[in-house]
Every structure is written in C-alpha cells, then in structure tokens.
Amino acid sequence: MSNVTKTKIMGILNVTPDSFYDGGRYISLDKAFKRALDMYKEGADVIDVGGESTRPGSSPVSADEEIGRICPVIEKISREIGVSVSVDTTKSAVAAEALKCGAVMINDISGLSFDKGMAGVAAEHKAELVIMHIKGTPVDMQKNTIYNDLIQDILDFLAESASIAISEGVDKSRIIIDPGIGFGKSIEQNYAIINNIERFTETGFPVLIGLSRKSLISRLYSSEEDRLPATIALNAVAVSRGAAFIRVHDVKAHRLAMESIDFLKKTGSSV
C-alpha cells in the first residue's frame, strides 16, 4: 500500500436553479466564483461545474442555455484560481465550449450514451473523461431499476463506453469510471455498489464515487444536517475500498476525513 496517493476531491458547483441540494444558490457569477474559491481553499482538487440538473425527474435544457450558465463561471475560475475544472454535461457542444473556456475534464453522466460526439471532443482537447453508468435518463431513471446482475451489468456498460472512447482517440490514462450511484438504482442497489467497489477498481481505471447527500442517505435521516456524517462515512468506505475520486458538496469536511483514510491506506498492516 506504499504507492497509495491522495484521494482526489471533486467539489460540486451547480449553477442551476433546480439541483436537488444546492439549486439556485450559485446562479450568479459572483456567487459561483466565491463558492469555487472557497472549495479550492478547503482542499478541492477539481471543481465540477454543471449547468443542467440531473436529479431524478429533471428536464433537460438547451445547449445554448447550458453554455450561457457555465462558461463565464469556468472561464473566471480557470483564469483567477487555477484549479482544475470539470464540466458536468452530456452534450458534446457544451463540453467543447467549456474546454475552450478552460475546463480540463468532462464529467458525462450518460457514459457517452446521450451524445455520440462526446468522445471525439474529449480526444480533440486531450481532456480527462469521466464515464458514468446510468439506466434510462434523469426524467425516468428511477422507474426501472431491474438488472440481470447489478454489478456485472454496470461493468459491461462502462467497459463498452470506455472502449468507444479509446477507439475515438481518448488516451486510456485519461478515462475515469463512475458506477453512477443514484442514477437508475434502488437504495439497496446503491449500497451494493459501495460494497463492490473493488470490482470496479479491477478494471484498471480510476473510480469516481458520487453519493454526496443523495437519496441513499437522505431517506435514512429527516434532517438535512444529519446527512453529512453519513456522506463522509460512506465516502470513507468507498475510498478504503479503492475509489480514487469522491464528488462532494462539503469539501473541507471530506478533506479532513480523507487525510486520515489516506494515511491509513498508506501505512498498511505493518510498521
């Protein structure tokens, strides 16, 4: 375990009016930039900027509207902070504009399944590419959560998408996979994914986990304040089982927690 590296923390910045947790908080450029700066100071390695909500039941917005929401924010963050920026989008046109504005990573929650041009954009710009599993679309993804074999079905989807990306010119070393907690899965299935993260790390790709304050947690607690400890606990389990990235709302708390987990992994079982 001596080669264990620091857990990468992706801070969530939704510049949307309707995201499930922070919708509407950061829709102005000044508020979005301040939030990004705060997360950077708290220890975020990547700021993930999204201009379209993907909460269950959400409706899509046009590429032009999405670009208008995110590009000024990405440009200002890239120019004035210098932290790595990811664009959270399923549209290749949006990703292309975001990369021109300074983003260096694409976070595609559709795993390349919504827009066949996404891999080509990633390849052209030599961007890192997060490929996530989803069953259905945000509008209907929670209506059918039946799988033949949950983990294997997700692995097959991710393998196919990664193969497409590589065939389009994306370097294998730039691909990150995400099993898609909360995207077409029941609460029990979400926990099964966490229990099987080693299966995803066996692919050789870095694994990103995004479970921050999602329904697998919120349905266990009535109070919003009670969801942070559970989020940290589950992310700690995910990292201890091999996740390389965690996507979170609460950066400082997770950086403090992950420092102990990273040290634990680095130390191993003997001294």
Chain-centroid distance of CA 73 in Å reads: 18
* Model pLDDT, residue 87: 98
* Catalytic residue (one of 91, 214, 255, 265): 214
Annotated catalytic residue 79? no
Residues in contact with 33: Cβ distance below 8 Å, sequence separation at least 6, in sequence order: 73, 76, 77, 80
| Domain extent listing, the chain | 8-267
Single-letter residue type at 87: V
* Model pLDDT, residue 1: 37
Give pTM, 2 decimals: 0.93
* Catalytic residue (one of 76, 91, 185, 247): 247
* Model pLDDT, residue 68: 95
Annotated catalytic residue 247? yes
Residue 246 DSSP SS3:
strand
Contact 161, 75 (CB under 8 A): no
Positions in the chain short of pLDDT 50? 1-3, 18-23
Q: Could you tell me the CATH superfamily of domain 8-267?
A: Dihydropteroate synthase-like (3.20.20.20)
pLDDT digits (tens, 9 = 90+) for 76-134: 999 999 899 999 999 999 999 999 999 999 999 999 999 999 999 999 999 999 999 99
C-alpha 41/C-alpha 224 separation (Å) is 24
Q: Where do we find the tokens 């299966």?
A: 199
